[in-house]
Amino acid sequence: MSAAPHILFAGGGAAGYFFPGIAVAEHLKRKLPLATITFAGPGRAREKHVVRSAGYEYCMIPSQPVPQNPFQAFRFLTDNIAGYCSARWMLREKGVDLVVGLGGYTSTAVVRAAVAREIPFILLEQNAIPSRTTRWLAEAATLVCAGFEEVRPHLRSQAPVAITGNPARPAFEQLCRRMSSGNRSLEAAKLTFADNGLPSQKRLVILGGADGARSLNESMPRALKKLGETLADWQIIHQTGEGQLQETEGRYRQEGLEALTVTFIDEIASVLFASDLVVCRSGGTTLAELALAGVPAVLVPYPHATDDQQIANAKVFAAANACRLVDESTQTGVLAAALARELTPLVSDDLLRREMSLNIHALSRPEASSDIANAIYETLFESQGARLAA
């Protein structure tokens, strides 16, 4: 194997697709310090910021998601054809040795280009129901690294699947190792983080995601108002996402509730490790990070996710009594009431939260990033051996 291979991570449509790739890249750099690692995506500003802040090159590949109406069909076709052609050119010009598909619509164009160029590729599948790209291309992949055992029935038996768990951002891995050092209990570790200059009261965190979960931003203030005095010793932190901060602040004021509302949380790992309860969506990376932090959650899956992937993810965690599930698609007009109903026992019962905390931590896979990096390393070694043998 070349001492300086070039690995391309491709994904996009949301910044969350790149967090697992960056986590794996960090481990890969330790094994292959001379390797060139590049990321490719559709060019969204938040994605570029996330990748470049981590110290990696970001290349734009034109691409569009499946259109929601006929008026978007022409741009879908032209952009994705251009993206495929651009990806083929980039793979050749940059001398890419391996492609890692992270999911999202850009991943499809780049992985298809890798197939055409006969470049080996690995797919990261973050959800319990695999994406269309994974279903289409799994058999041609060198390996599918899956976050959930539940993906297997959705793929053909010949597909090479390894259940690695989902990678989490490096800060979560570091805090998880700190938590586990010295065989300290989960609760003792949480107290250490909570006492480290943070308020000692119990903490409820609402995560709206980078783009903002509007339904959560609209419903949570009304839901929390219904909890009344049970929230007296709780601090509320609400991350609204882009463009929804002022509206959400106004809703809390209208309900007479005190909450810290922010657009983004830069130190999200430290905040979650010092939290007692979370309300959020149920993407694969989000669940992996909640599990490492050992923080129970009320999960509100994104109702428009392809093939109900987020609902499937949440059901895995709910079956393990690691979370509560609120299906937004069945709660039209009454989401606030449903949230209040699930939150009430969790806010008032410390023992229930502690049990769920242990259950969700039992689902964690702290070695996921390292295991995937090892798989990439082995694939590079084997592919070079095959080329030499030929």
pLDDT for the residue numbered 144:
97
- Of residues 72 and 50, which shows the higher confidence score? 50
**pLDDT at residue 209 tops 90:** no
Percent of residues, the chain, with pLDDT higher than 90? 72
**pLDDT at residue 78 tops 90:** no
Please state, in angstroms and rounded to a whole number, the distance separating the CA atoms of residues 145 and 126: 8
Residues facing residue 323 across a β-bridge = 297
Q: Structural domain boundaries of the chain?
A: 6-166+366-389, 170-362
Q: Which residues contact 284 (CB under 8 A, 6 or more apart)?
A: 20, 126, 127, 147, 148, 166, 313
pLDDT for the residue numbered 178:
87
pLDDT for the residue numbered 198:
47
Give the three-state DSSP class for 122: strand
Q: pLDDT tier at 212 (50, 70, 90 boundaries)?
A: low
**Picking from 60-64, 71-75, 153-157, 225-229, which range would have the lowest pLDDT averaged per residue?**
71-75
Q: pLDDT tier at 158 (50, 70, 90 boundaries)?
A: confident
What long-range pairs does 263-266 form, CB within 8 A, spacing at least 24? 263/239, 264/210, 264/239, 265/207, 265/237, 265/239
Give the three-state DSSP class for 208: coil
Q: Could you read off the pLDDT of 240-251 as tens digits, one per residue?
A: 988 899 999 999
Whether the domain at 6-166+366-389 and the domain at 170-362 fall into the same CATH topology: yes
pLDDT for the residue numbered 24:
98
Q: Is the dihedral of CA 7, 12, 17, 18 positive or negative?
A: positive
Q: Could you read off the pLDDT of 283-342 as tens digits, one per residue?
A: 999 999 999 999 999 999 999 888 899 999 999 999 999 999 999 988 767 899 999 999
pLDDT for the residue numbered 193:
44
For helices 186-195 and 170-180, give the axis angle rounded to 10 degrees. Answer: 120
pLDDT for the residue numbered 388:
47
pTM above 0.85, yes or no: yes
Q: What is the CATH number of domain 6-166+366-389?
A: 3.40.50.2000
**pLDDT at residue 348 tops 90:** yes
Q: pLDDT tier at 191 (50, 70, 90 boundaries)?
A: very low
Q: Which two tokens stand for residue 168?
A: 């989490």
- The CATH topology of domain 170-362 is Rossmann fold (3.40.50)
